Structure 1
């Protein structure tokens, strides 16, 4: 466990710098209607996730510790800001680890908390856009990571490759949904929603594809280290999801 935490801390120290970028959809960027719409879309997942955590995780001491670690992992990775060719920044998401260990519903809660703290403490994203950012990363990213990992394991793919695919595609799914959110709010004057989506997705893809690959590799390494340090707890979590 200490080794895994040290690796995350070193990654943070290496990449993090003080200049603030709006790495999620920034405060005040979305029209009020879409802010409210995405809050309404996110809140049901938040409530279901809270119920899941209360019933299945809070009574398990080791599960609570691992859940906290998964949240810290998501916070650190999604707080890293790397300059993009567009003049803005791109970042990993950290969605794969928690989704694989706990499933998507508990991580919808943890992801929302991560994004709230980033909005309040790091000026990443914002409170008005918290619903949209939470839906893209905490909901869509975790669900895609979980489904991809689950499908790969059931198809006989090795555990590490499945983890890599789940983490990498969950990262890309987050940005695909963000592109959709921006395209709905700001359709192109000529090409409409579809052309706007292609523009936003194309901008994100330049830096996000290599980042997704890196995130997949990091998630495999951290899960292996976590399994070595908290072997019983991790094995139990994966077996309970039926994904071993």
Structure 2
């Protein structure tokens, strides 16, 4: 759901940078706390960032000015919490804009807000609620990743609708159009991302012992 370079009006681009900046700053603090408490977690954090980079680079055409793709942010949100994903997502989006021409620098703030802030926070909230409801880890992870993906695409739809409202039906009409077109590709992508995230979580849990130090596996043990 990367909005392409130069597509947003200047005021919108600046506004989304301002809205995203505090979350990214908090992500830096969160990352420092994680590596201070668990120095061995650096590789796992890097794996979460790489997962996000690879999945979100798998783009396909969608609405004008944007595209459809998995996000990959649910993995890190479940493992480390949503705050650190603002930092990791920003790094991913910056590299994609510079190296892959995917997204853009002027739209970086908007893309960070949708994919690295809203998506991870929704994923984390779904994960927490699912575990409290007694759902299995696999189901909770799948729901967290899939719904976080959908939250990202809905946020991007709102950003585009706000920037380019329909002349007759205004924001609501534009949002319905953007979200409706996105849904054709994004709904199956969200399901696929949920399933793939379960596979990734299981692989990391089995191979990296220090994941037992994090809240995800602690909840599994208590269950």
Tell me the TM-score normalised to structure 1 length.
0.86
- 54-63 vs 206-215, greater mean Cα deviation: 54-63
Shift of 1:243: 4.2
In 2, the alpha carbon distance for the partners of 1:173 and 1:73 equals 18
The runs of 4+ residues in structure 1 deviating greater than 3 Å are 82-89
In structure 2, the residue matched to 1:52 is 30
| 1:37 lines up with 2:15 in the alignment | yes
Counterpart pick for 1:233 among 175, 191, 210 = 210
Determine if contact 1:91/1:211 at 8 Å carries over to the other structure.
yes
In 2, the alpha carbon distance for the partners of 1:85 and 1:132 equals 16
Unaligned runs of 5+ in 1: 1-22
Query: Over the residues paired in the alignment, what is the CA RMSD in angstroms?
Result: 1.8
Shift of 1:233: 1.6
In 2, the alpha carbon distance for the partners of 1:217 and 1:239 equals 17
In structure 2, the residue matched to 1:214 is 192
| 1:178 lines up with 2:156 in the alignment | yes
| 1:112 lines up with 2:90 in the alignment | yes
Counterpart pick for 1:67 among 38, 41, 45 = 45
Determine if contact 1:86/1:203 at 8 Å carries over to the other structure.
no
In 2, the alpha carbon distance for the partners of 1:162 and 1:49 equals 24
The 1:30–1:150 alpha-carbon spacing in structure 2 relative to 1, beyond 3 Å, is same
| 1:126 lines up with 2:104 in the alignment | yes
Tell me the TM-score normalised to structure 2 length.
0.94
Alpha-carbon deviations, 1:89-131, whole Å to 9, x = none? 4210001100000000011100010000000000000000000
Alpha-carbon deviations, 1:117-163, whole Å to 9, x = none? 00000000000000000000000010000000110001111110000
| 1:79 lines up with 2:85 in the alignment | no
Unaligned runs of 5+ in 2: none
Alpha-carbon deviations, 1:36-78, whole Å to 9, x = none? 1100110000111111111232452221110000000000000
In 2, the alpha carbon distance for the partners of 1:54 and 1:225 equals 25
